[in-house]
Amino acid sequence: MYLDQAQHKMLTTSFPDDYSEASLLDTMSSWLGRLLGLNATPHSMDKILPFLFLGNDHAASHLPDLRKAGITHVCNVATQCNDHFPDHFEYLHLHLFDSPTQKLAKHIKAAGAFIHRAKHSNGRVLVHCVAGWSYVVHDVAQCGVGVSRSVCVVVAYLVEHCHMPLVQAYDYVKRKRPVMCPSESFRMQLAMYEIALFESSSVLSTSNSDWDFYELNMYRQTRRRH
């Protein structure tokens, strides 16, 4: 019912000719947020590490908040989002689609190197994808959209550069950002990334439901047969 209402609202609203895809996604997410009883907020960043933040395009487009957080570098992982302040921050723009066919490995490798370099120059990095709404959990603002591509970049960074097991890194980021929801395809690629890095897996033996899905279960069966 909620989605039907949102679809009707979207179809009966006239948008300017120059209305961007990011603006459209923002508007849709705001409608959905209101329909679901969530509090729409214009800016949302979650601190993952002292030098590493996760956010949405709203956060990436609000210069005062970026300056307040001490951001020096921005990793934009959404094709449809612009680099808003190229004169103020160092950018890495990875043109990723939130699609089952999107390959992550080379992109998360590049993003990890970018974050690592920023850390060692005493910088702070915002990793972001698209827009979103927020709601409050225990007095902490949580972003509700744009929680797949950017999350995968941050989780992969923790695995490769902080040497966290994937299952631990994923849970850690989830505690910081409970609404994160990478697709099964992206989670599978994270699992394969950990194996490629360390020739071992922390998720194959876990009972955590985040790692209980068809493709990974089939891989488990194949491994057991060998």
User: Which tens digit of pLDDT belongs to each residue from 176-224?
Assistant: 988 788 999 999 999 999 999 999 999 999 999 999 999 999 999 998 8
Q: Which residue is listed with tokens 């698209």?
A: 130
28: pLDDT confidence band, cut at 50, 70 and 90? low
Asked if the structure places residue 204 within a domain, the reply is no
| Domain count across the chain | 1
String of DSSP letters for 22-73 = HHHHHHHHHHHHHHTT-B--S--EEEEETTEEEE-HHHHT-HHHHHHHT--E
Q: Helical H runs in the chain? A: 2-11, 21-35, 57-60, 63-69, 105-120, 149-161, 166-176, 184-198, 214-225
Q: How far apart are CA 226 and CA 217, in angstroms?
A: 15
CATH of the domain at 95: 3.90.190.10
**Mean pLDDT of all residues in 36-44:** 49
Q: Would residue 129 show up in a list of annotated catalytic residues for this protein?
A: yes
Q: Is 170 helix (H, G, I), strand (E, B) or coil?
A: helix
Asked if the structure places residue 165 within a domain, the reply is yes
Asked if the structure places residue 36 within a domain, the reply is yes
Better pLDDT: 187 or 136: 187
Asked if the structure places residue 152 within a domain, the reply is yes
pTM score of the predicted model: 0.77
Better pLDDT: 10 or 110: 110
Q: How far apart are CA 139 and CA 191, in angstroms?
A: 32
Asked if the structure places residue 219 within a domain, the reply is no
Q: Is 77 helix (H, G, I), strand (E, B) or coil?
A: coil
What residues contact residue 120 under an 8 Å CB cut-off, 6+ apart? none
Q: Is-contact 77 126, C-beta < 8 A? A: no
Asked if the structure places residue 216 within a domain, the reply is no
From the candidates 75, 81, 129, 152, give the one annotated as an active-site residue.
Answer: 129
Asked if the structure places residue 73 within a domain, the reply is yes
pLDDT value at residue 5: 45
Q: Which of 45, 43, 53, 50 is nearest to 154 (CA)?
A: 53
Torsion of CA 179, 185, 186, 191, to 10 degrees: 110
Lowest mean pLDDT, pick from 15-19, 100-104, 135-139, 153-157:
135-139
pLDDT value at residue 17: 53
Better pLDDT: 143 or 83: 83
Q: How far apart are CA 108 and CA 105, in angstroms?
A: 5
Domain with 59, as residue range(s), is 21-181
Q: How far apart are CA 41 and CA 91, in angstroms?
A: 25
What is each CA distance from 92 to 72, 102, 224, in whole angstroms?
A: 12, 18, 40
**Mean pLDDT of all residues in 156-170:** 98
pLDDT value at residue 24: 53
What residues contact residue 141 under an 8 Å CB cut-off, 6+ apart? 41, 44, 46, 134, 135
Is residue 43 predicted with pLDDT exceeding 70?
no
Better pLDDT: 16 or 109: 109
Asked if the structure places residue 196 within a domain, the reply is no
